[in-house]
């Protein structure tokens, strides 16, 4: 036995000091391997749509309904099943309604508790008792464990079991117990949540989505392009800060910054009123929701929208100039404006501009901030850096997130793997070295983390620039287009200049050889390996399918954001991966929590794809299973060391 192995076994013996302890743990781990794998839930492109997000999380994309159907079948009617589902989704709100309308509340409590216990037993059956015990709410841990493990069908336990329920009702704790059971069921039905990018932008409440994710029992996040620049903004990238403010303004959502995060935008408002007071800002009209926006704010918000956009183009120009490797010289457009003629030269062709009022631009040095703009950016940057809530959210994105994830045989990412027309991986220069495929993801993620965490100022500056690069560079995996035509969309009427050609990746998705090459690049192979992809809305109303390459690649962005629903025709796709296989569902728009509680309405979901596995998946087939098998091998080596006399048991 090598010295390294012996040192490790000595360390392991501190945890398992005897043959009995090591053998017991082997038995425990071996048994766990035979349990069914937990259910994984995949969701993407939330874009601040908090109510719809909450509902999909609470109903587990139909997993709760399926569990109710499995448990009760034809034993109860459809209306009762719907009522149980609504109770599990929204227990607090549903209980308020029940307490107001139910005449015999004691009978209702008993019936509901017995049904919830049955569902909870079924949901917990695929876990060890230890894992279930850890999930139990503190206040009701003893009561719930007794109700889940008790046997009311056995005469010796029937009275004991029933008395627990009667006592809970008599002591006035039934409502709280029902809520605890509902929360536990939701937690047990979905074991793990994957968010495949774009939590931020468009919708009004990404901050509330982040609060919910931070309370989730098990979650990972693959960063989307709209998440990345918020991460950059929190790290202090001024170009990213401008994007965060500009897009919030564009969608009539500055309240997110001011009320949601407490960021003071008064300096920007003063600049806007000072420099654009008489400017109608017709190119900067807002795309707001009438029921969620006070139109009295529109005039000021449009001026702020223009002010921050001009600052953004200046700061981005500075970054492009200091990073020639980014290959973005074609996006330097401020110096291509002919202010006398009112035109701009885009890719060698001159176009008339819709707006030529730029009071803060020095045409000798168009990318320099004016003194007033520099002062505004300094103040706002400090506000972003010192915003405790935003920093807490972004730290969570860094700790729980990454640019991609390989998990249980699936490859998850937002956007695309940058490719050439021939299907080869694009070689991208990053600070003097070329990277492609998985290596490109790894180096970009490394620099992104430096942008937030690095102490060395040079490394931090590189990281900050990379965060912006990931947001809009043509070779960014999460952007996936040849260019971002923000300038042209504001100032040039000719829509040909607005086009953003997609990376060849999107034209190669039905090529099995290409898809297999991507999977192999990230260490996956075989018929059961899949790519789970977010970012590009699937236009279902035009007949486009989210299922690509015979089911090897699934695009699950289908319009969660209301801003996209007119284009997609639906309100998003989600994916469930349980021990029996994959279930891909399309969802209709969610109306409101109030309607869901009052009428028992749910998101109408349509199953798009069901892929059954050849053999029901167990924990042994998962990544955790691989770790457990490795632990078993180590414990078996420890047993051998004890039995061979290499190590001595520590018996007290």
pLDDT band at 553 (very low <50, low <70, confident <90, very high): very high
576 part of a folded domain: no
121 part of a folded domain: yes
Domain shared by 124 and 167, yes or no: yes
495 part of a folded domain: no
pLDDT recorded at residue 264: 96
pLDDT digits (tens, 9 = 90+) for 373-413: 999 999 999 999 999 999 999 999 999 999 999 999 999 99
CA distance 518 to 83: 45
Poorest-pLDDT segment among 75-89, 468-482, 590-604, 620-634: 590-604
pLDDT recorded at residue 461: 97
**Residue 95: how many other CB atoms lie within 10 Å:** 20
pLDDT recorded at residue 566: 58
Domain shared by 303 and 239, yes or no: yes
Asked if residue 87 has pLDDT above 70, the reply is yes
CA distance 327 to 333: 14
Domain shared by 84 and 153, yes or no: yes
313-337 mean pLDDT: 96
320-324 mean pLDDT: 96
Q: Quick one: DSSP state of residue 60?
A: G
Domain shared by 28 and 149, yes or no: no
Asked if residue 97 has pLDDT above 70, the reply is yes
pLDDT digits (tens, 9 = 90+) for 282-315: 999 998 877 777 788 889 999 999 999 999 999 9
Poorest-pLDDT segment among 3-7, 371-375, 576-580: 3-7
Poorest-pLDDT segment among 249-253, 530-534, 611-615: 611-615
Q: Are 26 and 639 in contact (CB under 8 A)?
A: yes
Would you call 582 helix, strand, or coil by DSSP? strand
pLDDT band at 202 (very low <50, low <70, confident <90, very high): confident
Domain shared by 255 and 147, yes or no: no
The total number of structural domains that make up the chain: 3
Identify which has the larger pLDDT, 608 or 496. 496
pLDDT recorded at residue 233: 98
Strand partners, 575: 42, 584
Identify which has the larger pLDDT, 583 or 600. 583
**pLDDT, the chain, mean:** 90
Structure tokens at 91: 């227990």
Structure tokens at 390: 């935003």
Asked if residue 608 has pLDDT above 80, the reply is no
199 part of a folded domain: no
pLDDT band at 520 (very low <50, low <70, confident <90, very high): very high
6-35 mean pLDDT: 93
Q: In angstroms, how far is CA 481 from the centroid of its own chain?
A: 21
512-539 mean pLDDT: 89
Structure tokens at 614: 């050849």
Domain shared by 336 and 436, yes or no: yes
List, in order, residues 6 or more apart from 351 with CB less than 8 Å away.
343, 344, 345, 492, 493, 494, 497
Poorest-pLDDT segment among 155-159, 435-439, 523-527: 155-159
Asked if residue 647 has pLDDT above 70, the reply is yes
Residue 333: φ, ψ to 5°: -115, -20
The parent domain of residue 127 ranges over 62-189
131 part of a folded domain: yes
Q: In angstroms, how far is CA 148 from the centroid of its own chain?
A: 33
pLDDT band at 601 (very low <50, low <70, confident <90, very high): low
Q: Are 366 and 334 in contact (CB under 8 A)?
A: yes
Of 487, 516, 540, which marks where a domain is finished? 487
Domain shared by 247 and 118, yes or no: no
pLDDT digits (tens, 9 = 90+) for 211-261: 999 999 999 999 999 999 999 999 999 999 999 999 999 999 999 999 999
153 part of a folded domain: yes
Of 465, 487, 509, which marks where a domain is finished? 487
| DSSP, residue by residue, 232-262 | HHHHT-HHHHHHHHHHHHHTT-THIIIIIS-
pLDDT recorded at residue 424: 96
617-640 mean pLDDT: 94
215 part of a folded domain: no
CA distance 424 to 518: 10
CA distance 300 to 270: 10
pLDDT recorded at residue 609: 67
pLDDT digits (tens, 9 = 90+) for 561-571: 666 555 555 56
Domain shared by 236 and 329, yes or no: yes
134 part of a folded domain: yes
190-195 mean pLDDT: 95
Domain shared by 77 and 169, yes or no: yes
Q: Quick one: DSSP state of residue 75?
A: S
Q: Are 265 and 254 in contact (CB under 8 A)?
A: yes
pLDDT band at 154 (very low <50, low <70, confident <90, very high): low
Of 459, 487, 515, which marks where a domain is finished? 487
pLDDT recorded at residue 407: 96
Domain shared by 148 and 251, yes or no: no
Domain shared by 304 and 439, yes or no: yes
Top mean pLDDT of 36-45, 152-161, 587-596 is at 36-45
175-181 mean pLDDT: 94
Q: Quick one: DSSP state of residue 95?
A: H
Domain shared by 185 and 245, yes or no: no
List, in order, residues 6 or more apart from 652 with CB less than 8 Å away.
none
pLDDT recorded at residue 158: 75
| Among 567, 566, 561, 557, residue whose Cα is nearest residue 536 | 557
Residue 428: φ, ψ to 5°: -120, 130
């Amino acid at each position: 036995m090598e010295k390294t192995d012996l040192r490790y076994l000595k360390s392991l013996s501190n945890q398992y000091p005897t043959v009995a302890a090591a053998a017991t743990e082997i038995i425990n781990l071996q048994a766990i391997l035979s349990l069914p794998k937990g259910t994984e839930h995949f969701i993407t492109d939330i874009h601040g749509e908090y109510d719809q997000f909450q509902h999909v999380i609470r109903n587990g994309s139909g997993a709760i309904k399926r569990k109710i159907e499995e448990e009760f079948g034809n034993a109860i009617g459809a209306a009762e099943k719907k009522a149980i589902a609504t109770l599990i989704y929204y227990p607090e709100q549903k209980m308020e309604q029940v307490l107001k309308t139910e005449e015999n509340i004691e009978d209702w409590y008993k019936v509901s508790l017995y049904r919830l216990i049955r569902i909870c037993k079924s949901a917990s059956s695929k876990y060890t008792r230890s894992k279930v015990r850890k999930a139990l709410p503190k206040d009701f841990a003893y009561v719930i464990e007794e109700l889940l493990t008790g046997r009311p069908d056995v005469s010796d336990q029937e009275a004991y079991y029933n008395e627990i329920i009667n006592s809970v009702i008599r002591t006035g704790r039934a409502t709280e117990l029902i809520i605890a059971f509902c929360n536990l069921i939701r937690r047990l039905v979905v074991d793990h949540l994957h968010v495949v990018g774009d939590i931020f932008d468009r919708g009004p409440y990404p901050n509330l989505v982040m609060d919910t994710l931070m309370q989730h029992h098990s979650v990972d996040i693959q960063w989307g392009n709209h998440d990345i620049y918020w991460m950059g903004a929190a790290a202090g990238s001024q170009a990213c800060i401008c994007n965060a403010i500009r897009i919030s303004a564009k969608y009539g959502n500055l309240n997110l910054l001011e009320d949601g995060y407490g960021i003071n935008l008064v300096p920007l408002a003063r600049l806007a009123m000072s420099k654009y007071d008489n400017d109608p800002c017709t190119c900067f009209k807002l795309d707001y929701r009438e029921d969620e926006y006070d139109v009295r704010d529109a005039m000021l918000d449009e001026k702020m929208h223009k002010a921050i956009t001009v600052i953004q183009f200046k700061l981005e120009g500075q970054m492009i100039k200091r990073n020639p490797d980014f290959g973005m010289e074609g996006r330097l457009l401020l110096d291509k404006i002919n202010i006398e003629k009112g035109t701009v030269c885009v890719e060698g062709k001159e176009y008339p501009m819709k707006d030529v009022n730029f009071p803060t631009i020095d045409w000798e040095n168009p990318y320099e901030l004016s003194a007033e703009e520099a002062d505004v950016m300094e103040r706002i940057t400090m506000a972003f850096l010192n915003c405790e809530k935003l920093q807490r959210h972004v730290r969570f994105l860094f700790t729980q997130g990454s640019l991609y994830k390989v998990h249980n045989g699936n490859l998850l990412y937002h956007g695309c793997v940058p490719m050439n027309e021939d299907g080869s991986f694009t070689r991208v220069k990053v600070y003097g070295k070329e990277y492609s495929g998985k290596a490109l993801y790894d180096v970009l993620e490394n620099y992104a983390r430096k942008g937030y965490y690095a102490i060395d100022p040079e490394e931090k500056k590189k990281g900050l620039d990379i965060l912006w690069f990931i947001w809009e560079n043509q070779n960014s995996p999460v952007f996936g287009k040849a260019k971002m035509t923000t300038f042209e969309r504001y100032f040039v009427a000719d829509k040909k200049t607005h086009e953003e050609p997609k990376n060849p990746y999107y034209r190669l998705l039905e090529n099995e050889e290409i898809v297999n090459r991507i999977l192999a690049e990230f260490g996956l192979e075989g018929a059961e390996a899949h790519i789970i992809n977010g970012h590009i809305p699937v236009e279902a109303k035009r007949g486009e399918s989210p299922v690509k390459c015979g089911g090897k690649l699934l695009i699950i962005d289908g319009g969660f954001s209301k801003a996209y629903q007119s284009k997609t025709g639906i309100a998003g796709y989600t994916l469930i991966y349980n021990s029996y296989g994959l279930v891909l569902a399309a969802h209709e728009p969610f109306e409101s929590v109030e309607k869901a509680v009052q009428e028992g309405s749910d998101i109408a979901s349509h199953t798009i794809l069901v892929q059954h596995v050849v053999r029901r998946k167990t924990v042994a087939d998962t990544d955790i299973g691989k770790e457990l098998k490795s632990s078993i091998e180590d414990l078996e080596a420890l047993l051998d060391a004890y039995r061979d006399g290499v190590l001595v048991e520590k018996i007290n």
